[in-house]
Amino acid sequence: MTDTRPQLDGATIAEEDDGIRLDRWFKRHREGTPHALLARWARSGQLTLDGKKADVSDRIAAGQKLVMPTPPVETAARPARKGRPLTDADIELATGMMIHRDASAIVLNKLPGLATQGGTKTEQHVDGLLDALKFDGPTRPKLVHRLDKDTSGALLIARTPRSAAYFAKSFSNRSARKTYWAIIVGVPDIQQGEIDLPLAKQPGSGGEKMHVHDDGLPSKTRYRVIERAGNSAAWVELQPLTGRTHQLRVHMAAIGHPIVGDGKYGGKGAFLTGTISRKMHLHSRRLRIDHPDGGAIDVSADVPDHFAASLDALGFDLLLGEVGTDDVVEGPPPKAAAKAAAKAHSKQIRKARRGERRGRTATSKPTDHVGKPKPKPKTAKPGKPKTTKPVGKKPSAKKHRARPPRAS
């Protein structure tokens, strides 16, 4: 009688795979095993970690014992798909962008115009250059976040699967802190504040464009005006408190101050006359994130040539940009500033969205931040005269008992 039970295979999770999903482990070490087959093994209890039933989405840890069926012959690992061979110019480009490197991470100062990942008619991109940054690492480096093609600046690359999982978690729980510099058209009425507008994909754009929409995902951006060039332009510091697609670009355009060079969201009004470049003026200036081995990575990226030339042409002082919003005590903006910001932002948003929602009425509530109602001030009821409290201590109603005389 032949044994029809599947033959079992086993493996011990290595340090470089610590923290990744189980299905990701199979892509690395059992490439060619179909996901549908993995799911079937998981449902039938044939996948186990340390003797316990495992699911394909489980996070694995170094040292765990993985047991699985031996894949059939037809699902044996296929050779990895090879990308375009890197030229000397590609290697020079990749290494020339590097501004930080340690055993777990690399930080690049991404050039404007270079896509982070490939797409239609996009042959050169950061992801395609990562083989040039492997050095002595155990595996090919991996992207853990993205920057728009025309946005320059600090871009984090993980050198090991363990650090990739760690950094991905930092971005998802928003403990990573990113600071951007931008030059915008016009000058906000309020020097420092927070933009709180939900964002959603714009219908008909194929997901390539976002817009402000009541049913969108919550999105918040903190901004600070560093310096102004009269009323024509301002240099601002931006901190995304959420990570939505094109968030900074949509938020600045929504309050009437598009980023210079961002024709997608600012239209013709996003370009300044004279010698100011028509390229996007949005730069990931600083990145701070906890390191998987302890401590933190804190890296600043120099602005690209066109951005530096515009700062100079507009008469901005680079030293002023070094005093950021993190150097002041965090908390809500001052009361007067918050009220002024509410009026300015609400007015701009209502004008931009006129016809999309009902206009401001007599019952509309002013806001301190867009979307957050300001409580009504308390007023005295008619017919009841206002009484004043007497000055001084209020006499206590409690009676104290006389103490018995002390025995001599």
For residue 345, give the 3-state DSSP assignment. helix
Q: How far is Cα 10 from Cα 303, in angstroms, rounded to an integer? A: 50
pLDDT for 38: 87
Of the two residues 349 and 393, the one the predictor is more confident about is 349
pLDDT for 342: 56
Q: How far is Cα 254 from Cα 370, in angstroms, rounded to an integer? A: 11
Least confident of 149-158, 230-239, 365-374: 365-374
Q: Could you tell me which residues come within 8 angstroms of residue 127 by beta carbon, excluding any fewer than 6 positions away?
A: 116, 117, 118, 143
**pTM given for the model:** 0.66
Query: pLDDT for 368-391, tens place per residue?
Result: 444 444 455 555 555 555 545 554
pLDDT for 383: 53
Q: Residue holding tokens 């480009």?
A: 93
Cα end-to-end distance, the chain, whole Å: 108
Reported as type and span, the H/E element at residue 157 is strand 152-158
Q: How far is CA 308 from CA 11, 100, 237, 316, 388, in A?
A: 53, 21, 15, 10, 62
Residue 331 has pLDDT above 90, yes or no: no
Average pLDDT, integer, range 5-25: 78
Tokens matching residue 214: 């009541």
The DSSP 8-state label assigned to residue 407 in this structure reads P
Q: Which amino acid is at 394?
A: K
Q: Could you tell me which residues come within 8 angstroms of residue 47 by beta carbon, excluding any fewer than 6 positions away?
A: 22, 38, 41, 53, 54, 55, 56, 66, 67, 68
Least confident of 114-118, 119-123, 176-180, 247-251: 119-123
Cβ-contact 88, 99 below 8 angstroms: no
Domain residue extents for the chain: 8-75, 91-117+125-327
Q: How far is Cα 211 from Cα 216, in angstroms, rounded to an integer? A: 9
Query: pLDDT for 180-212, tens place per residue?
Result: 999 999 999 999 999 999 999 998 876 689 999
The domain 91-117+125-327 is classified under which CATH number: 3.50.50.60, 3.40.50.2300, 3.30.2350.10, 3.40.190.10?
A: 3.30.2350.10
Cβ-contact 44, 56 below 8 angstroms: no
Residue 93 has pLDDT above 70, yes or no: yes
Of the two residues 93 and 10, the one the predictor is more confident about is 93
pLDDT for 239: 97
Cβ-based burial of 276 (10 A; exposed 0-12, middle 13-18, buried ≥19): buried
Which phi and psi angles does 320 have, rounded to 5°?
-65, -25
Active site residues: 148
Q: How far is Cα 251 from Cα 19, in angstroms, rounded to an integer? A: 35
Q: How far is Cα 254 from Cα 372, in angstroms, rounded to an integer? A: 17
Identify the band that residue 77 occupies on the pLDDT scale cut at 50, 70 and 90.
very low
Cβ-contact 69, 6 below 8 angstroms: yes
pLDDT for 371: 45
Q: Could you tell me which residues come within 8 angstroms of residue 169 by beta carbon, excluding any fewer than 6 positions away?
A: 19
Q: Could you tell me which residues come within 8 angstroms of residue 89 by beta carbon, excluding any fewer than 6 positions away?
A: none
Q: Mean pLDDT for the chain?
A: 81
User: What count of Cα atoms within 13 Å lies in the side-chain half-sphere of residue 313?
Assistant: 15
The domain 8-75 is classified under which CATH number: 3.40.1640.10, 2.40.50.180, 3.10.290.10, 3.90.1150.10?
A: 3.10.290.10
CB atoms within 10 A of CB 345: 26
Average pLDDT, integer, range 78-85: 56
Q: Distance from CA of residue 59 to its chain's centroid?
A: 23
